[in-house]
A and B are shown apart, each in its own frame.
Chain A
């Protein structure tokens, strides 16, 4: 099946640090990529949607200056959590879709812990 690779899988860093998470579609070209946040025992919460070469569309309540998204190519999207604080600690999951007739495939997530 389709593979989406997400890196790193786990990050621990100090408050105030910026953290970059990479998401790659390995065997298909992803016209659309998605970033989610998931709290323990809860479903996925969509943060933003990005189309290759375009600015990301953020969901209500998600700060675009805090969570910078770059979808530079059809196989790579990055999420940068800027000046991270303990409340940003969470499980971040990316997802990619080839086109609107295809399903979304998810990466394995990044566990972010801010001390």
Chain B
């Protein structure tokens, strides 16, 4: 079983819809959870960073962490064509390396 599972998609949604992304993981020691957005031929850009369980909201983005279920989510409200990108979940325990999901390609159709 991979440490982090993320359905690679692709996921196509109409403009204005809510985009829902999620990852599951197997390592219960993970404490730090991140979502990155990566445009083609660019490096990943940090969107959300959470520690332990709970919700975090930043503008149109909401991140949820459920450590009991080993499940994290990212929601994008009022999606825009500029949100079309690959979204990577990542997580780590302590000072260890990041474990990444495979990335989920999102296409927002105007």
- Chain A 1-18, CB within 8 Å of chain B: the 1/0 string? 110101000000000000
A43-B91 Cα distance, complex, nearest whole Å: 14
A104-B97 Cα distance, complex, nearest whole Å: 10
- Residues in A with CB closer than 8 Å to B95 are 100
Interface membership of A106, Cβ < 8 A = yes
- Name the contact of B41 in the complex, choosing from A4, A43, A109 (C-beta under 8 A): A109
A4-B86 Cα distance, complex, nearest whole Å: 20
Interface residues on B, range: 20 to 34
- Name the contact of B43 in the complex, choosing from A2, A93, A100 (C-beta under 8 A): A93
Given contacts A46-B97, A49-B97, A100-B95, contact A106 B45 (CB under 8 A): yes
A42-B103 Cα distance, complex, nearest whole Å: 8
Can you add 13 more A-B contacts, CB < 8 Å, to A42-B102, A106-B45?
A1-B46, A2-B46, A43-B88, A43-B101, A46-B97, A49-B97, A93-B43, A95-B43, A103-B34, A104-B90, A105-B46, A107-B43, A108-B42
A108-B43 Cα distance, complex, nearest whole Å: 4
Given contacts A6-B43, A93-B43, A100-B94, contact A106 B88 (CB under 8 A): no
- Residues in A with CB closer than 8 Å to B97 are 34, 46, 49
Assess the B103–A43 pair: CB atoms within 8 A. Answer: yes
Residue ranges of B at the interface with A (Cβ–Cβ < 8 Å): 32, 34, 36, 41-46, 49, 51, 88, 90, 94-95, 97-98, 100-103
Residue ranges of A at the interface with B (Cβ–Cβ < 8 Å): 1-2, 4, 6, 34, 42-44, 46, 49, 91, 93, 95, 100-101, 103-109, 111
Q: Which of B44, B46, B95 has the most CB of A within 10 A?
A: B44
- Residues in A with CB closer than 8 Å to B90 are 104
